[in-house]
Amino acid sequence: MKSITWFGALLALLGILGLAIPAFTTSRTKDVAKLGSLKIQTTEQSTHVIPQALSVGVLVLGVILIGAGAYSRR
């Protein structure tokens, strides 16, 4: 398979994944204060949302690249 086909398959997979899981949460631990050997930490959570239009666009681009890779093989 050509590299364009592999790249298209990767984009299509990412587009499907973006449609299946449109939001995800990450957490980060941050030092608030430090007194000697005592540390006070907090955990901050951030929610990230992937726009549906972006996921559909990436999926369509992936399918187009897969088609272009298959067409150029002929």
Q: From its phi and psi, is residue 68 left (phi > 0), alpha (psi between -120 and 50) or beta?
A: alpha
Condensed to tens digits (0 to 9), the pLDDT of residues 26-61 reads 999 999 999 888 999 999 999 999 999 999 999 999
Domain boundaries, the chain: 3-72
Nearest to 61 by CA among 13, 21, 20: 13
0.95 surpassed by pTM: no
